[in-house]
Structure 1
Amino acid sequence: MKKTYSLLAHLLRRPAGAWALLLLTTAGGLTGCENETMPVPDQGRDYYPLELGAYRIYDVIDTAYQANVPTVSRFQFREQVDTALEPDATGQPVYRVIRSRRTLATDPWKIDSVITVAVKGQALTEQRNNRRTVELVFPVQEGKTWNINAFNTLDSLTVVNRFYVGANQPFRITRGGQTYQYDQTITTVNDLAQDVNAAYTTVLRTTFARGIGPVYRVRRRFISRCDAVGCNPAFKQQGQSRSEVLIASGK
């Protein structure tokens, strides 16, 4: 008890300046505690950045098959974020991306199509040819699954047909003697166990690089030759294979 009274008396004898310093120190400590915030979990939205004027140029190899005979064409696509449209009904931003095409690097660009990209809650969607697909879901993480056709009528809302693989992994690809590599990527793939068999083949694969966007796309759809004996998947009766490799980007 005597020690308590002695401490109280000692504090009361302090000059006003000491009290002010004590109060400021205490207040600063409290403020510091109040300003501490938990770090926001990484959603991975920078795997598809959307900045007005930004563009990406792809080298495209397109092969069409008819009775197992391939016809190969090669050209370039440029995708450029052209306009930020009015927010949709949910208040989410919507962007118009102009896709242009040219055969040679010296040719002028000609508009090929328009893509509408929107971030809706935890999903990033693309609308091409009046069909909206879910290209990414957030947060981006290994093994996550979703329905790419959740916003169109191709599948029921409960179908799982898209997967994340290779989260935050490096990626490299060579095209035209040039090697392109990225430190952090994520790849989306379709369900090959469901979409590849003796009668038909469907492969949909896209690799996104952090801070850049899509850097590699593959689309393969084939129908095999089938007869009374069975189907021969090595014989492409009809179909198409297209690969797109990012060769330049900027603003």
Structure 2
Amino acid sequence: MSYSWSSCILIVICLALLSGCESVTTEPTPSDDAYFPLETGHYSIYNVQEDQYPRQAAPIQRNYQIKEVVGAAYTNVTGQTAYRLIRYRRATDSQPWQADSVWSARLVTNEAIRTENGQDFVSLLFPVSNGLTWNGNRYNTGEQNDYELRNAGQPFRVLEKLFNETVTVVAQDDSTLVSQEKRMAVYAREVGLIYKERTHYQFCTSSPGCIGKNQIDYGSRQVYRIQTYGKE
């Protein structure tokens, strides 16, 4: 069977048109606000370790647990949708939870905002990318505090659990011969906050022999490590 040249061209055009009509399926791009999930009933339980170093006294260590539950949505005074963060505390696994405090959180355009003790902090900025910076104190009366996002999409291990996709937010990381100041938080996709550290150390400077030895004169360190999470 033979085909004319014009028939061949027509067949090629028809095949191209048929191929163009095939549906193309693409996977939806995950939203970065999943690093800061706000869903009523979502909860996280943290093991908290506090180390206190009083001046000229023995160090004091405290260990306890904090449970944070996302409450129902409500409209705040600015007309924005927010969620209550209901916080509980206990000393050990075997003790009942005791009410501790109520904070709140909200997502506004590209910002994740937490209200802690009446102060608003911009915890995350979206979309996440390494080197992204913003003023965490934008909505409070504190001095400008530039947060920096690092390790976007990288794994991070807390206790025995590995979280495959996380972001790290560094609010402060300063270390000198006389002091150390560190504030950082790690968020996992679909989980939220999984690790938080706040360190304030003043090192010994009273004699030449202790300078530069990181010998703590006074200060404190607090670390949150997620133990479990889920939905009630």
Q: Distance in 1 between matches of 2:115 and 2:219?
A: 23
1:29-53 alpha-carbon deviations (Å, 9 max, x no partner): 7xx99xx9x9986551000111111
Asked whether 1:249 is paired with 2:229, we answer yes
Aligned to 1:236: 216
Aligned to 1:20: none
Instruction: Work out which of the residue numbers 184, 207, 210 in structure 2 matches 1:205.
Output: 184
Q: Distance in 1 between matches of 2:148 and 2:137?
A: 13
- Greater shift in the superposed pair: 128-137 or 232-241: 232-241
Q: Residue 65 of structure 2 aligns to which amino acid in structure 1?
A: Q
How do residues 53-92 of structure 1 correspond to structure 2 at under 5 angstroms?
Answer: 53-67=41-55, 69-89=58-78, 91-92=79-80
How do residues 139-178 of structure 1 correspond to structure 2 at under 5 angstroms?
Answer: 139-156=127-144, 161-174=146-159
1:1-53 alpha-carbon deviations (Å, 9 max, x no partner): xxxxxxxxxxxxxxxxxxxxxxxx9xxx7xx99xx9x9986551000111111
SS of residue matched to 1:234 = coil
Q: Residue 210 of structure 1 aligns to which amino acid in structure 2?
A: R
Aligned to 1:13: none
- Count of equivalent residues: 211
Q: Distance in 1 between matches of 2:190 and 2:213?
A: 39
Q: 1:184 to 1:220 in 2, by over 3 A?
A: same
Asked whether 1:190 is paired with 2:171, we answer yes
Q: Residue 137 of structure 2 aligns to which amino acid in structure 1?
A: N
Q: Distance in 2 between matches of 1:92 and 1:231?
A: 51
Q: 1:112 to 1:219 in 2, by over 3 A?
A: same
Q: Distance in 1 between matches of 2:129 and 2:31?
A: 9
Q: Residue 222 of structure 1 aligns to which amino acid in structure 2?
A: Y
Q: Decide which structure has the larger Cα Rg and report it.
A: 1
C-alpha contact 2:172 2:181 (8 A) present in aligned 1: no
The normalised TM-score by structure 2 is 0.80
The normalised TM-score by structure 1 is 0.75
C-alpha contact 1:48 1:211 (8 A) present in aligned 2: yes
SS of residue matched to 1:217 = strand
Q: 1:121 to 1:88 in 2, by over 3 A?
A: farther
Aligned to 2:32: 44
C-alpha contact 1:44 1:139 (8 A) present in aligned 2: yes
Q: Distance in 2 between matches of 1:88 and 1:137?
A: 22
1:205-250 alpha-carbon deviations (Å, 9 max, x no partner): 1111101101111111122334486965623232211111111111
Residue 67 of structure 1 and its aligned partner are, at CA, apart by: 2.4
Q: 1:202 to 1:228 in 2, by over 3 A?
A: same
Q: 1:39 to 1:145 in 2, by over 3 A?
A: farther
Q: Residue 115 of structure 2 aligns to which amino acid in structure 1?
A: Q
Q: 1:138 to 1:96 in 2, by over 3 A?
A: same
Aligned to 1:119: 107
Residue 118 of structure 1 and its aligned partner are, at CA, apart by: 1.4
